[in-house]
Structure 1
Amino acid sequence: MKVREVARTWLTHLAVERGLSQNTLSSYRRDINRYCDWLESARIADIGAVNTADVEAYVMDLRRGVEGRAPLSASSAGRALIVARGLHKFALSEGHVGVDVAADVSPPATGRHLPDTLSVDEVARLIHAIPTSDIATPVDIRDRALVEILYGTGARISEATGLMVDDVAHAPEVLRITGKGSRQRLVPYGSMAQAAVEDYLVRARPGLSKGKSHALFLNQRGGPLSRQSAWAALKKATDRAGLKKDISPHTLRHSFATHLLEGGADVRVVQELLGHSSVTTTQIYTHVTAENLRQVWRSAHPRA
Structure 2
Amino acid sequence: MVTEAPGSSRLVLAANVVHLDPAKAVFEAMREGWARQQSARFLRSTTIDPRLRLIERLEEFTGLYPWQWMPADGEAFIAHLRSGSSPIQMSTARSYEVTIGLFLEYLLDARYGWIEVCAERFGEVPQEVFHEGNSVLHTVEYEGDPRRRPLTYDEVQALFDAADARPARIKGQGRKGVLTTLRDAAILKAVYAFGTRRTESSRLDLVDLRRNRKAPQFGAYGSLMVRYGKSSKGASPKRRTVLTVPEMDWIVDILTEWITEIRPRLSPGRHPALWVTERVGRVAPRTINEAFVTAREAAGLDEDLDLHCLRHSYITHLTEFGYPARFVQEQVGHSHASTTAIYMGVSNEYRNQLLETVMKNRLGEDWSVTA
Same-fold status (TM-score > 0.5): yes
Aligned counterparts, 1:1-304, within 5 A: 1=9, 5-12=29-36, 14=38, 17-18=41-42, 20=44, 22=46, 24-35=47-58, 37=60, 41=64, 43-45=65-67, 54=70, 57=72, 59-65=74-80, 72-87=88-103, 95-96=111-112, 105=132, 106-108=135-137, 113-114=145-146, 115-131=148-164, 137-169=178-210, 172-177=221-226, 178-181=228-231, 182-190=237-245, 191-211=249-269, 213-240=271-298, 242-246=299-303, 247-286=305-344, 288-289=345-346
The equivalent of 2:174 in structure 1 is: none
SS in structure 2 of the partner of residue 65 of structure 1:
helix
Q: In the TM superposition, what whole-angstrom CA distance separates every residue of 1:26-50 from its partner, at most 9, and x where no partner exists?
A: 4333223334556871x533xxx98
Q: Quick check: which has more Rg, 1 or 2?
A: 2
Q: Deviations over 1:94-136 (max 9, x none)?
A: 94389x968964535686643222102221232244439x979
Distance 1:14 1:170 in 2: 40
CA distance in 2, matches of 1:194, 1:93: 56
Label 1:63 to 1:84 Cα distance change in 2 as closer, same or farther (>3 A).
closer
Whether the aligned pair in 1 keeps the contact of 2:268 and 2:276 (CA below 8 Å) is no
Structure 2 counterpart of 1:121, one-letter code: D
Task: Output the CA distance in 2 between the equivalents of 1:16 and 1:210.
Answer: 38
Q: Name stretches of at least 5 consecutive residues in structure 2 with no aligned partner.
A: 1-8, 10-25, 116-126, 172-177, 213-220, 232-236, 354-368
Q: Secondary structure at the match of 2:314?
A: helix
Secondary structure at the counterpart of residue 149 of structure 1: helix
Amino acid at match of 1:34: R
CA distance in 2, matches of 1:277, 1:87: 28
TM (norm. structure 1) is 0.72
Shift in Å at residue 79 of structure 1? Answer: 1.9
What SS does the aligned partner of 2:209 have?
helix
Question: SS at 2:66's partner residue?
Answer: coil
State the AA in 2 paired with 1:44: P
Structure 1 residue 250 displacement after superposition: 1.0
Percentage identity across paired residues of the two chains? 23
Q: Using the TM superposition, give the Cα deviation of residue 6 of structure 1 relative to its aligned residue in structure 2, in angstroms.
A: 4.9
Q: Match for 2:222: what amino acid?
A: E
Q: Distance in 1 between matches of 2:203 and 2:110?
A: 34
Higher mean C-alpha displacement, 88-97 vs 265-274? 88-97
Deviations 1:111-167 (A, max 9, x none): 6643222102221232244439x9794324322320122112221112211212222
- Displacement of 1:12 after TM fit? 4.7
Partner secondary structure for residue 131 of structure 1: helix
Secondary structure at 2:271 match in 1: coil
Report the CA distance shift for 1:212/1:29 in structure 2 as closer, same or farther (over 3 A). farther
Judge conservation of contact 1:170–1:176 (CA < 8 Å) in 2.
no
Encode CA deviations 1:238-264: one digit per residue, 9 max, x unaligned: 344x33322421121221222233444
2:18 matched to which residue of 1? Answer: none
Deviations 1:153-196 (A, max 9, x none): 22111221121222224865221221233222222234222331
Residues 267 and 205 of structure 1: CA distance in aligned 2, closer, same or farther (over 3 Å)? same
SS of residue matched to 1:185: strand
Give the direction of change, closer, same or farther, for the CA distance of 1:20–1:44 in structure 2 (3 Å limit). Answer: closer
Letter of the 2:157 counterpart: A
CA distance in 1, matches of 2:77, 2:347: 33
TM-score when normalising by structure 2: 0.61
Unaligned runs of 5+ in 1: none
2:242 is paired with a residue whose SS is strand
Aligned-CA RMSD value = 4.3
Does the 8 A contact of 1:163 with 1:216 survive in 2? Answer: yes
* Number of aligned residue pairs: 286
Distance, in Å, in 1 between the alignment partners of 2:230 and 2:329 is 14
Whether contact under 8 Å (2:97, 2:130) holds in the other structure is no
Q: Aligned-pair distance for 1:208? A: 1.3
